[in-house]
Amino acid sequence: MEKVVAGVIGAGRIGKLHINNLKTNQNVRLKMVSELFADDLQEWFKDSGVEEITKDYQDIFEDEDINTVFICSPTSTHADLIKLAASYKKHVFCEKPISFNDEETLEAYEQIKEAGVKFQVGFNRRFDKNFQEMQSRVENRKVGDVHVLKITSRDPKPPHLDYIETSGGLFMDMSIHDFDMARYLVGSEVVEVYAKGAAIVNPEIGEMEDIDTAVITLTFDNGALGVIDNSREAVYGYDQRIEVFGNGGAIVADNETATNLKYYHSNTVEIDQPLHFFLERYNESFIRETQEFVDSILNDTETKVVFKDGIMAQRIAMAAKQSNDSGKPVKVNHEIG
Ligand SMILES: NC(=O)c1ccc[n+]([C@@H]2O[C@H](COP(=O)([O-])OP(=O)(O)OC[C@H]3O[C@@H](n4cnc5c(N)ncnc54)[C@H](O)[C@@H]3O)[C@@H](O)[C@H]2O)c1
């Protein structure tokens, strides 16, 4: 294959971001985008770098030039679109999470395996240079045996209530990135989850039977423990900090800021706020995740975030929800048959 010929499904926040990153990739031809509200996107489309726009994703599947599909529509559509892509033998990049349901996800997994196409799930944080270096040092035993993983992951403000309604809830939509980071950094499966959540940022989120704040305790197969704290609103910006602590030391990843300056004056010392949100903080990782996905297709190598990673993060999210609902710790099955 000389080039990845891409079709993108869904041109919302994340679809537009991937298109914008892919349009400068010499190895990619952006052939088509499908979007329900295509009529409203004509202005954006003109400069998008995509050749055609359609309202019907079937046009993407039936286009014989297109060999790769980027699924960027809402989560409820993902599993069916993955299965369709497998039936048309197209490679798949799918945004997180794969679905809200283990059975659906496993069905999609089987079909992708059978089709023999490449698959990558959108856990972009694995492509962040700091977290990659952290993972490599943990793997090389720079902290010895891992005892505790601590993740602080707080958004600057909650998304629209319309988004929350279809998001699958905080654990499935937001904490899922942290669950993936936990598995990635510790290098061991999560076997038990104990989660407590609350709607204290916005009571309307509570009325939707969702939460906006959570503390989650993880137990790993290798005996390590983890704690994640999430909030949908940190007034000072996007708060993304991680520590891995073990019997040989600790490694800390702090927030990214626009500059590393400290300003000393008569009352206090100031540093920059964290970068505003995921588009700013993880920009580089978004660029690299699709770049490396394209490379794995062209070089016929395994993708960096495989189907199992999507399955496991989703199971941890489901266990966290069950734990929060029941008030009890919940075991996580990591067999995928
Ligand atoms: N990796 C990340 O950090 C990250 C960040 C944001 C969102 N996401 C994921 O990306 C997905 C989309 O989220 P978003 O924030 O871009 O949502 P969004 O609502 O901004 O965009 C989704 C778009 O898909 C379109 N759409 C819906 N059904 C469609 C269909 N059948 N065919 C074509 N288009 C269709 C909608 O009209 C909308 O424009 C979700 O699964 C979400 O979890 C991932």
Nearest protein Cα to ligand 1, atom 43: 96
Task: Give 3-state DSSP helix, strand, coil % of the chain, rounded to 5.
Answer: 40, 25, 35
Q: Based on the number of CB atoms within 10 Å of its own CB, is 191 exposed (0-12), middle (13-18) or buried (19 or more)?
A: middle
The whole model's pTM is what?
0.96
Q: What is the DSSP letter of 124?
A: G
303 lines ligand 1 (CB under 6 A): no
b/e map of 307-334 (b: 16 or more CB within 10 Å)?
bebbbbbbbbbbbbbbbbeeeeebebeb
Contact 74, 166 (CB under 8 A): yes
Q: Is the CB of 127 under 6 A from ligand 1?
A: no
**Mean pLDDT, to the nearest integer, of 166-194?**
97
CB atoms inside a 10 Å sphere around CB 40: 11
Looking at residue 38, its amino acid is A
Answer whether 281's CB lies under 8 Å from 274's CB. yes
What six digits make up the tokens of 133? 């270096």
Find the 269 Cα to ligand 1 centroid distance in Å: 41
Mutate which of 9, 13, 124, 164 for ligand 1? The one with the most ligand atoms within 8 Å of its CB, which is: 13
Cβ of 72 less than 6 Å from ligand 1: yes
- In tens, the pLDDT along 76-129 reads 999 999 999 999 999 999 999 999 999 999 999 999 999 999 999 999 999 999
**Is the pLDDT at 1 greater than 90, yes or no?**
no
Is 314 touching ligand 1 by the criterion CB < 6 Å?
Answer: no
Q: Which amino acid is at 265?
A: H
Of 124, 122, 82, the closest CA to residue 105 belongs to 82
User: Please, are residues 151 and 242 in contact by the beta-carbon 8 Å criterion?
Assistant: yes
Which tops the pLDDT comparison, 190 or 1?
A: 190
> In this predicted structure, what is the pLDDT of residue 318?
98
Tell me the C-alpha distance between 214 and 17, whole Å.
28
Domains of the chain with CATH codes: 4-117 (3.40.50.720), 126-281+312-331 (3.30.360.10)
> pLDDT tens, 257-290?
999 999 999 999 999 999 999 999 999 999 999 9
